[in-house]
Amino acid sequence: MTGTASRPQAMRRDGRVVIGVEDLGVRYSLRLTRKTTLRDSLVRRVRRRGETTFWALRNVTFTVLQGESLGIIGPNGAGKSTLLQVLAGIITPSEGEVAVDGHVSSLLTLGVGFDQDLSGVDNIRLGGAFMGLDHRMVEERLPTIVEYADLGQFIDAPIKTYSAGMRARLGFAIATSVEPDILLLDEVLATGDAAFREKSKQRVLELVKQAKAIVLVTHDMNWVTEYCNRAILVEQGRIVLEGPPADVVALHQEHSEERRAEAAARGVLQLKDRRY
C-alpha cells in the first residue's frame, strides 16, 4: 500500500475515491519453490525459453468511488484473486501505486490463520486479534459469532477435527463480525452447503448496504449484474473492459464461448461452466 504522499493521482483529484490503483503490476518468480517440483521448474523454463518471471497483473489502473460495488470477472488464472490480495495488503505490488482509504474487511480465503490445535472459540479470539479488534470487543461479539457459525458442540473442539464446510462457516462468521468501510469478496458464496450459501448471501447483502465500497470476484454473473454498478473484465493479467456490468458480462460470455470453440477445434475436452 502506498502512503498519502504517493497516492494515485485519481485519489488526489477526487475525494470520493476510496480505492485507487495506478499502473499496477505483480510479477512472480517461476524458479523452484517449495510448491514447485524440479521437473515443473525445468519444464517451465524450457517452454518460456529461459524466462524466470511471470506477470500475474500488468498495467492495471482503475478507481472505486464511495458507494460503488465493483465486480471483477474473467477466466481462471486471469489474475482476479491476485488483484484482491493486493487490495487487501496480502501481496505487495512489483510496480505501480495502490491506495485504500478506510478499514478493509476481506473474505478471500476463509479460515486462513486458524490454529489447528485450538478450539473454535479460541480461534474466534485469535481471528479477532488478527483483524485488529481489542479483547473487550471480541468478547462482546463472541456469543453472536458462535451463534451465527452454528457449529453446536464442535465450537469447543479443536479446528483440526472440523470438515472443510465447518471451517468455512466459522471463518465466515468471524470475518463478517465487523462492519467494514471496504469489503473484498472472492468467491465466498461458492463455499459450503446450500443452506450456508443462502445464509452467507443474506449476510453479504447486509454488509453491501453498510460498506463504503465493495469489490467482488465471482463466477456468478447474476451477482455481477444484480448487485454491482460497475464491472471489470480481466484476462491474462490485464483489464480488457471496464464499464456497465451488463456490457462487461456480455463480452466475458462471448470470449468464454470463443475459448470453448477453439478448445473443441483442437480436440481438447473442457468442462462446460454454465455460470461462465
DSSP 5-33: GG--HHHHH-TTEEEEEEEEEEEEE-S--
* Cell digits of residue 141: 461479539
pLDDT band for position 52 (cuts 50, 70, 90): confident
Residues 6+ away with beta carbon under 8 Å from 109: 186
- Residues 265-271, mean pLDDT to the nearest whole number: 63
Q: Which residue has the higher pLDDT, 198 or 34?
A: 198
Range of the domain at 62: 4-102+221-265
Report if residue 270 sits inside a domain: no
Per-residue pLDDT at 227: 83
Is the domain of 168 the same as that of 235? no
Q: What is the mean pLDDT of residues 79-95?
A: 92
190 lies in the same domain as 113: yes
Taking residues 225-232, report their average pLDDT: 91
DSSP 243: E
Phi and psi dihedrals of 131, rounded to 5? -85, 0
Are residues 127 and 259 both part of a single domain? no
- Here the cell at position 275 is 455460470
The predicted-structure confidence for 141-173, as pLDDT tens digits, reads as follows 999 999 999 899 999 999 999 988 888 888 888
Q: Are residues 180 and 158 in the same domain?
A: yes
Cell numbers representing residue 184 in the block:
473484498
Is residue 273 included in any domain, yes or no?
Answer: no
Q: What CATH number should be reported for the domain holding residue 145?
A: 3.40.50.300
Count of domains for the chain? 2
Give the C-alpha separation, 14 to 121, whole Å: 43
